[in-house]
Structures are given as structure tokens and as C-alpha cells.
Structure 1
Amino acid sequence: MTLLKESAFSLFGKAYQSVLALVFVMFISRFLTENQYGTYRQALLVANTINLILLLGMNETISYNYRIIDTIKRNQLITNMFVIKILVILPAAFILLLSRTSLSNFMNNDLLNDYMPVIAALTMIYAFESLLESYYFGSGQAVLMGKLQVLSYSIHYSFAVIIILLSKSEFYLIVEIALFELIKSVVMLTIILRKETFRFNFNWPYLKELVRFSFPMGVSLILITLNVYVDQMIVSANFSTEDYAIYNNGAMNIPIVQLLTVTVGSIVLPKLAKETTEKSFEDGLLLWRGAATNTALILITFMWLFMIFTKGYVRFVFSERYLDSIPIMRVYLLRYMITFAIYCHLLMVIDKKKYIAVISLLGIVGNIILSLYLIRIFGMIGAAVATVVIQYFVNFMEIFTVTRFTKTKFTDIFEFKRLAKILMTSGSIAAIFALISTLLPLGDILNFFVYGTLYILTTFITYFASGQIDKSLIQVVLKGLSSLKGA
């Protein structure tokens, strides 16, 4: 199965989940008050942040190693990773419960104190589920993962809607999420045990080897995670729950679009490792650069769409109550011009993981200082500006470090001419439709759907006509999607 086919399979399941999530956000943003909605988002912020910290590089360790080791090593890999996960998650959940009063005070929301037992349970479930997902990606089970995503999230959001209609309670919603993720994890584990002949094979020397591999990466990912969420934590600590709800909507990654980077990155990493190990870094870089450029084509195109028609999107998804999210969202959209690839993967395959930690530490310190400073000047939007500035700084430092140790050039990592052409093509067409929507307005929401759709169609037709999209690429994607139907 090719890289593009695997990406298509995995992306389909997650895209379906994102569409349902978007519809659900539209629903709860209207049925819950700003305070309830903000509390719900804060609860997920805590669970997701702790979960990502507890990854400790274990998911990447499985994805990186699974395809390049034998069966015995695979048994040891999975066994040891689960042992490490248990050793870190139980104390973490206990600490979370002990510090719930302090944490709720920090986030300016006393309700979190009462909700913390459920949040702690959800965090534990997330941690184990993410480990299971890394197996599916690492072992090439993207088709199966896609099917599981479609079925499980259809059931989840159906129950969630019923709960909101009956109770209008964010607490019961959080409980439902925890129960759903638990059942999903059990199903995923059962499928793995039936498909694979895993044997419990704990190996202390191999565990130490894995810790040496994953710990530097884990420290790096902890810092990267804090860098991602630090602005939301700062806003939550300095503003009301209602204000946080507004900021969170603006900072929320647009469903489907953001999945592209994560999904392609999850599938590229094991293939990048294999290419680099069996051939050379240059061969791996060629694969990585192609995936990055194709992802950039989509992200940059959608960046212009949401930049121009932000008001219609916010009105449609979040309702009139959250129009103050618009400037925050526009600032966040600027990240799309750099976040079309996961740059730390390049440092991982050349065994320079410690530099990921150093760069990320600089990023988080810079983000905290800059966010606190800009908040005093510009209010909440200052945190968004700081986050975007630091994002560019961190990614630039990662790229610079790669070029330094591999003796490559920036032009070897980026297809600058093609990226510039993509930016100019999509930007020019976006400007035309922005002008048309001003001269012939249809209303904010209709502008988004009508002119936005015409912009996307026109842009991709132009890409195709000008040779910016390879015909063979389209054929492979269509084959991958058609294969999904019968897989």
C-alpha cells in the first residue's frame, strides 16, 4: 500500500470524525451557555494536555520501530511500552486529583474541582487509547483504523446529542466522553489481540534501550505540547470562563484541514525511518518533502478561504454569540504557511532528538513571556499573536538544526518555487472572490458557502491546469479512496 493510499484511508476515518465533531460543536454552542461551553472546553483542555504530556515519546517509538524490527522485538516493544505507560499514568492521575483545587483556581473555574475525577479518568483512557492508535499506524492498519473511527464516532455523537437534549449538562457530556473512549479502547485492544499473536514479553535490557530512545523525544513532546496549549492556559488563568470559550473557538483547529498534517505525519514517520535506515537520509528527505509540499497545497488554499470568509464560518458554526472569536481565528490561520509538516521528524531520524527538547524549551519560555506581555497590550488576541510568532521561530530553528547536521540546504528541504507558486495562485484567486463578495454580497454565511466553494473549485482547477497538481497524484488518491469502499 502506498503512502498516499494509507494517508487516504486514515484521513477518511478522522475526517468523518471531524465532520461529526464540527456538527456537534454547532449544536452545543447553541444549547449550552457560554459558561457551560467554556467549562466543557476547559475540561478537555486539561485532559488533552496531560495526555499529550504522558505520551513521553512512546507513540512515536512504536510508529518508528514497528516496521523495522522482527516479531520477537515487536512483542517486547508493545509489552514494554504498556508497562511504561502504566508506571506513568497512575501517579499522574493521582497527582491530578490531589491538585484539583489548585488547578480549578488557576483556571478561574470552581466547577473543574468537582469534575476532576472524571477528567482524571478520561486522561488515563486517552493515554492508553493513543498507544493503541500508534500500533494501527505503525503496523499499516490504516484501513481498519478508518472503519473504527467511522463506526465509533457515529455512536458517540448520537449519544452525546441525546444527553445534551435531555440534561443540558456539560458534566454528563464529559462523563459520556469518558465512557465512550473506554469502550472504544477495549474494542481496539480486542481487535489487536485477535489479529496479532502477541505474547507478553517483558525485556529489561530492551526496555532501557527504548527509554533511551523515547525519553529525549518524550521530553521534547512534553515541551511541544505545553507550547501548543500555553496560550490557552494563560487566557484561562487571566480571563473569565466565558472569555476562554471565545478564545478557544478562535484557536480551535479547523476540522479536516488540520487532520492532514497529523495523519500524513503519522504515516510518513515510519516510512521516513525505513527509507533513512535502508537507503539514506536524502532518500527519506525526498519522501518527506513531497508529502510536505502536497500538504501545503491544501493547507494554504484553505487558509485563504477561512481568512476571507471567517465571519460566515463563525456565524455558521459557533453562532452570533462568538463573533469575537473572528480576529483570534484569523491570527491562528497564519500558522498554515509553516505547519504543513512535522519538522521534528527529520531530527528524529538523524538521531538529534535532544535538539527538539532544547528548541521546544526555548519556544515555551518565549511563548509564556511574549503571551503575558502582548495580553497586557492587546488583550486576548495578544496570546494568539505570541503563539504564531513562536510557532515560526520553533520551526525555523528545527529546520536550521537539520541543515546544520546533514549539510543540506533550505532548498533541499523546501520546494520554495512550488510553495511560492501555490501561495500566489491561491492568494490571487482568493482576492478576486473577496472583491466579488463585497460587490455582490449574499450574506456572511452564504458568502462562505457559495463564494467559498467557487474559490476552492477555481483554485484547484487552476492548480491542475497549470501543472501544480500531478495527474498521477489524483489517480492514486482516487484509487486509494475507491479501495477503501471494498476494503
Structure 2
Amino acid sequence: MNRSILSVILIIGRGLALTLNLLTVVILARLLSVAEYGLYQQVWLFYLLFSPIFQAGLPASIIYFLPNFSSTDRKSIVFQTMLLLMAFGALLSLASVMLSDFVLADYSEEAVGDYLYSFLLYPIFSLPIIFFDSLLIVLKKAKQAVFFTIYLALIHFVSIIIPTYLGLGLSTTFFCISIGAALNFIVVLIYLLWEFKGVMFRWSLPILRNQLQYSIPLALSSIIGTLNRKIDFVMISFFFSVEVFAVYSAGAFEIPIVGVVMGVIISITVPEFVRLLRDDKKQELLRIWKSSITKVSLIFFPLFIFLFVNAKDFIEVLFTSKFQNSHLIFSILIFTLPLRIANYGSLLQSFGKTKLIFRYSIMTLVMNVILNYIFIKTFGFYGAAVSTVVSMYFMNILQLRAGGRLLGIRITEMMPFKNLGIVLLYSFVPFVLTLPVSSLLSEYAATVRITVIAVLYGTIYFALMVGLSPFKMDIREVVWSFVNRNKTSS
């Protein structure tokens, strides 16, 4: 399947799944008080902080090793990885009980640790299937990947919203989330048993040894990377109340399409980069790398400008006026979006340079902690957002420079700067043209304003890109190929 078409299919699937996640947050912001929402986010913060430790980098190793394995070895690596992750999930549950009250301060009558008891089953059943969609992509089963991505997200959505809507309390909600994870695990297990039926399973210590040699440095980098991304949340937890933490969390949420696009890019490009490096085709790798960056910028650059300009209305529509100060946090953190046109660590990962990723992550974490402390003391909770932006730029520049060295080129040759400049210019034009409309709608509700501006901005941008830009043929090719493929399959 064409790489662009595969990307579109996966983006649609993961986009629908993450839209459900976004809808979850939007509904919770309306059903819960600010303090309850803060506690809910703190429980997830605890899980997100510690889960990379217990994943041990194993999910990422699947993408790296599986393309080169036979059917028997594939079954071995998949099932022994699931067994290990289930055991590590049990250890994470135990750690949750032992460390919760020590790590997260008790800002209310109910401690975060009380809710973690209801959350105990979730790591046991969620960690073993965390790599499932990436596995299906490596097995070239894009349709199944889309179906299961949406299905798993739907179960997760229902397990959160129903108990919350019924007013059963956060403890019951987290218990239902755990039950949903168990159901998802059973469904995935049944599918994998069917997929590998007739293939003998054998526990392979050599495969496990190679897997861990690759994954452990990557796990260490993932742990540090998670701390880099979440250290602002941790600092806010320690320095401010749970209500302030809730406001910061609302402003710091990630736009669904960002995670979708980056996840798809990693799932598709890393296995392909590994194959190209094995065949010593570095120039082809560089061409795909630059092409991918250009295509992602076609989405992220206009999204960045639109959301920065309309941040206040956007946050109010999603989270209501209860979180009115969150838009300032969002306006700062949105400056990380232009960076997300590429996953710089994935290039180093393809070269097997996981130790280098770890070293850069350590350097960035040290800087991030210091900047967070200084900026929070100086600018209040807004300083945490500023520190996060500065640290992300620092780490990505380091990784980009290292990628250039591995490819034998200068850092300035790593990025398609001319194409990026054109995309940025075409993204800015719709903003200018919609300014008069924004002024006319100033007295209307935020929902009306942002809907009208979004439609106008998107229409103008698409017309410019398809009609005038140098990328119009690429856009038409992707769209029409996708449409024709669906017509053929139907």
C-alpha cells in the first residue's frame, strides 16, 4: 500500500479514537467540579509518569525487530512481550499503592492514593496491549489497525463517561476504567491467538536478550522523555493547589491530531528507515524524511496559527468559563506545535542510537527542572509552560544535529526550509483575510465565533494550497488515491 494512503487511513482511524479522548475531557470538564477534575488528572499523571519505567521500552522494540523475523519468531516476540508487560503492569500497580501518597501531595479531603486503589487493574491489562496498533501496521493490516484503534478507544470512553454521568464518584469511575481495560485485553488476546494460529510458540531467550539490549536504553530515554514532558505538571502539583493544577491541565492538553500524526509517522517510517539503512540507502531515507516533514507541516503550521490567534475562544468552547485562565497556558504551549512536524528521536532510533537519545534526554531534563523552578518562582504557574517550550526546542535541536552527523550532512540540510517557509506563508494569509470577520463577530458567543472563523480559515487555506501552492499535486494525489481506493474496495 502506498505510504501516503496508509498514512491517511491510519490518521483517520487514530483521529477518531483521539476525538473520543478529547470528547471525554470536554464532558468531564462539565460534569466534574474544578477540584474533581484536578484529582482525575493527577491520577492519570501518576500513571503516565511511572508507566514508561515498567514498559521497559518493549513496545518500541516490536517495531524495530518484527520486520526481520519469521512467523515463529514473530509469535515468540509478541507473546513473550505481552507476558512481560503484564508482569510489569502488576509491579506498577503495587508501586502505585506504595508510592502514591509520597509522590503526589494530598490537596483535598480525599488523597490521590485512594483513587489509585480503584485503578489497580488498569496497568495489568493496558500495558500488554499498548503496542497492538503498531503491531498490526508492521504486519501490514491497516484496516484492522483502524478498527481496533477505534474499538479500544470507544470502550475506554464508555467506561469513563457512564459512571461519571451517573454521579457514582471518581472511585467507581476508575474501577470501571480498569474493567474496560480488562475487556480490551481479552479481545486483543483472542485476535492474536487467531492471527498466529498454527504457528508454534517458543520462549526465545536469544530474542529476548537482543530485545532488551535494544529496549532498555530506549526505556531509559522514554522515562526521561516523559519526565521532560510532564515535569511542569509535577512542579505545578507541588507548588499549587489542585484547582490550579486543573486549570493548568486544561491549558496543557494536546490537540488530538498532533498525537495521531506523530504516532502514524513513527509506526510507518521507523521500520522503513531500518530497512533502508540495512540496504545502505541513506539518500532515499533523507528524501522520505524531508517529504514527511513537508506533508506534516501542511497540517501543523496552519493549525498553529489558527489556535494561537483563537486560543481564548477555543479553550472556552472545550472547557467552559470555569477554566478561563487556561487559555494563557495554551497560548504558550502551542509554540511546541511547529516542532512536531518531525519526530527527531525516531531517526536516531532507526540507527539504533538509543543511548544517544538517552544522553540528550538527561541533559534536557536537568535544564527543564532548573528552568521550571526559576520560571515558576518568577512568573507563577505560567513559567512552567515557558520552561517546557524552551526545553523541547533544546532537545530537538540536539537530536536533529546528531541525525545530520549520522547521515553525513549538515544540520541545515536536514530540514526542507524552503518548503516550510512557503507553507508558513500560505498559513498566514487566511489569518489576515479573516481578521475583518473576527471583528464583526466579537459580540457573538465563542462557539459561533470559532466555528465561523475555522470554516473560513480552512476553506481559504485549502483553496490556496490546492490552487496555487507548489504542493497542490501532492495533495490531489493523496486525496484522489484515497477516494479511488475506497471506490474500488466497495
TM-score w.r.t. length of structure 2: 0.93
State whether residues 79 and 201 of structure 1, in contact with CA within 8 Å, keep that contact through their aligned partners in structure 2: no
* Residue 156 of structure 2 corresponds to residue 151 of structure 1: no
* Residue 466 of structure 2 corresponds to residue 464 of structure 1: yes
State whether residues 53 and 225 of structure 1, in contact with CA within 8 Å, keep that contact through their aligned partners in structure 2: no
Match of 1:41 in 2: 41
Q: What letter is aligned with 1:278? A: D
| Whole-angstrom distance in 1 between the partners of 2:234 and 2:200 | 42
Match of 1:292 in 2: 293
1:373 offset after TM fit, Å? Answer: 0.8
Q: What letter is aligned with 1:434? A: L
Q: Sort the Cα spacing of 1:433 and 1:477 in 2 relative to 1 into closer, same or farther, 3 A.
A: same
Q: What letter is aligned with 2:410? A: K
| Whole-angstrom distance in 1 between the partners of 2:94 and 2:486 | 42
Alignment deviations for residues 16-39 of structure 1 (CA, whole Å, 9 cap, x no partner): 122222233222211110111111
1:59 offset after TM fit, Å? Answer: 1.6
State whether residues 13 and 150 of structure 1, in contact with CA within 8 Å, keep that contact through their aligned partners in structure 2: yes
1:85-484 to 2 correspondences below 5 Å? 85-105=85-105, 110-158=110-158, 160-167=160-167, 169-197=169-197, 198-441=199-442, 442-480=444-482, 483=485
List runs of 5+ in structure 2 lacking aligned partners.
none
Q: Sort the Cα spacing of 1:199 and 1:51 in 2 relative to 1 into closer, same or farther, 3 A.
A: farther
State whether residues 132 and 185 of structure 1, in contact with CA within 8 Å, keep that contact through their aligned partners in structure 2: no
1:88 offset after TM fit, Å? Answer: 3.3
Q: What letter is aligned with 2:468? A: S
**In structure 1, the residue corresponding to 2:41 is in which secondary structure?**
helix
Q: What letter is aligned with 1:71? A: S
| Whole-angstrom distance in 1 between the partners of 2:161 and 2:355 | 44
1:109 offset after TM fit, Å? Answer: 7.7
1:200 offset after TM fit, Å? Answer: 2.5
**In structure 2, the residue corresponding to 1:408 is in which secondary structure?**
coil
**In structure 2, the residue corresponding to 1:105 is in which secondary structure?**
coil
**In structure 1, the residue corresponding to 2:325 is in which secondary structure?**
helix
**In structure 2, the residue corresponding to 1:99 is in which secondary structure?**
helix
| Whole-angstrom distance in 1 between the partners of 2:312 and 2:168 | 27
Q: What letter is aligned with 1:93? A: S
Match of 1:31 in 2: 31
1:276 offset after TM fit, Å? Answer: 2.1
Q: What letter is aligned with 2:455? A: T
State whether residues 101 and 111 of structure 2, in contact with CA within 8 Å, keep that contact through their aligned partners in structure 1: no
**Greater mean alpha carbon deviation, residues 145-154 or residues 57-66:** 145-154
| Whole-angstrom distance in 2 between the partners of 1:245 and 1:114 | 18
**In structure 2, the residue corresponding to 1:245 is in which secondary structure?**
helix
| Whole-angstrom distance in 2 between the partners of 1:392 and 1:378 | 20
State whether residues 223 and 360 of structure 1, in contact with CA within 8 Å, keep that contact through their aligned partners in structure 2: yes
| Whole-angstrom distance in 2 between the partners of 1:53 and 1:142 | 29
RMSD (Å) for aligned C-alpha atoms? 2.2
Alignment deviations for residues 338-376 of structure 1 (CA, whole Å, 9 cap, x no partner): 111111111122232211000001111111110111001
| Whole-angstrom distance in 1 between the partners of 2:483 and 2:178 | 31
**Greater mean alpha carbon deviation, residues 439-448 or residues 60-69:** 439-448
Ranges of 4+ aligned residues in structure 1 off by more than 4 Å: 106-110, 481-487
**Greater mean alpha carbon deviation, residues 260-269 or residues 315-324:** 260-269
* Matched positions, count: 487
1:87 offset after TM fit, Å? Answer: 4.9
Q: What letter is aligned with 2:140? A: G
State whether residues 265 and 341 of structure 1, in contact with CA within 8 Å, keep that contact through their aligned partners in structure 2: no
Structure with the bigger RCO (C-alpha within 8 Å, sep 6+) is: 1
| Whole-angstrom distance in 2 between the partners of 1:159 and 1:115 | 15
**In structure 1, the residue corresponding to 2:324 is in which secondary structure?**
helix
* Residue 20 of structure 2 corresponds to residue 56 of structure 1: no
**Greater mean alpha carbon deviation, residues 153-162 or residues 288-297:** 153-162
Q: What letter is aligned with 1:132? A: F
**Greater mean alpha carbon deviation, residues 207-216 or residues 79-88:** 79-88
| Whole-angstrom distance in 1 between the partners of 2:30 and 2:260 | 25
Q: Sort the Cα spacing of 1:129 and 1:478 in 2 relative to 1 into closer, same or farther, 3 A.
A: farther
List runs of 5+ in structure 1 lacking aligned partners.
none
State whether residues 97 and 116 of structure 2, in contact with CA within 8 Å, keep that contact through their aligned partners in structure 1: yes
Q: Sort the Cα spacing of 1:359 and 1:349 in 2 relative to 1 into closer, same or farther, 3 A.
A: same
State whether residues 465 and 472 of structure 2, in contact with CA within 8 Å, keep that contact through their aligned partners in structure 1: no
1:309 offset after TM fit, Å? Answer: 1.1
| Whole-angstrom distance in 1 between the partners of 2:270 and 2:283 | 15
